[in-house]
Homo-oligomer: A and B are copies of this chain.
Amino acid sequence: MDQPVLPLGAPRGERADAVRNRLHLLATAREMLAEQGADRLTMDGLAERAGLGKGTVFRRFGSRAGIFQALLDDDERAFQERVLSGPPPLGPGAAPLERLIAYGRARVGFLVAHREIARAALDGTQPVPAGPETPLSRMHIRMLLGQMGLGAADLDVLTVQLTAALDGPLLLYLSASDLTQAADQADERLAHGWQDLVQRVCRP
């Protein structure tokens, strides 16, 4: 006899209590984040406030950075939705170049809005793929670049470099004060700079 089909939706997945705890930890982390900022969020503090053991926190998220990656991942789901199936020019339907420009603008906005979490999600001991989020960014850029037939470029390398041009300023170079003092202005300049960059890169 075959297995019932329903429970395979989460194939041998988390146990119910584990899910409950994970969600509770994420919610608690968000509270603490809002109240005290990312750098005051300690694993002990989170565990205590959530009423759980420290071991639980680590098994769920692996590391401190893992918590922020999970939070970021969560926030990014809606964003991904808009990219994969929302209205153009961000979603499918527009010309590749337009989509690429729109994607950059949207991602810059997202990163500026989530810069604290995004920074905290960096591991340092680990290359970025730590979260399942950047792969998507790269895959998407790569796909769009592929759709417009650029000359004999090394598409993989160009993709990484453009991804870095998009994320790097926020993750690596711009100081907190550069952003907080005029977040939306920086946002606009970066978005516009991205547009200029990819237009230059992609013109025939």
Contacts and interface: CB of A to CB of B under 8 A. Distances in A.
Contact of A154 (B158, B163, B178, B189): B189
Q: Which of A169, A172, A189, A201 has the most CB of B within 10 A?
A: A172
Given A127-B175, A172-B127, A200-B200, A154 B193 contact: yes
Interface of A: 39, 119, 122-125, 127-129, 134, 138, 153-154, 156-158, 160-169, 171-176, 178, 189-190, 192-194, 196-197, 200-203
Q: Which of A169, A178, A202 has the most CB of B within 10 A?
A: A169
Given A157-B189, A158-B197, A128 B163 contact: no
20 contacts: A119-B124, A124-B124, A127-B172, A129-B173, A129-B175, A154-B189, A154-B196, A156-B189, A157-B169, A157-B189, A160-B174, A161-B165, A161-B197, A164-B167, A164-B169, A164-B173, A165-B165, A167-B168, A200-B200, A200-B203
Contact of A173 (B39, B125, B128): B128
A123 B39 CA distance: 13
A161 B168 contact: yes
Secondary structure class of chain A's binding surface, majority of residues = helix
A119 B124 CA distance: 7
A37 to B, nearest CB: 12
Contacts of A168: 160-161, 163-165, 167-168, 172
Contacts of A190: 157, 161
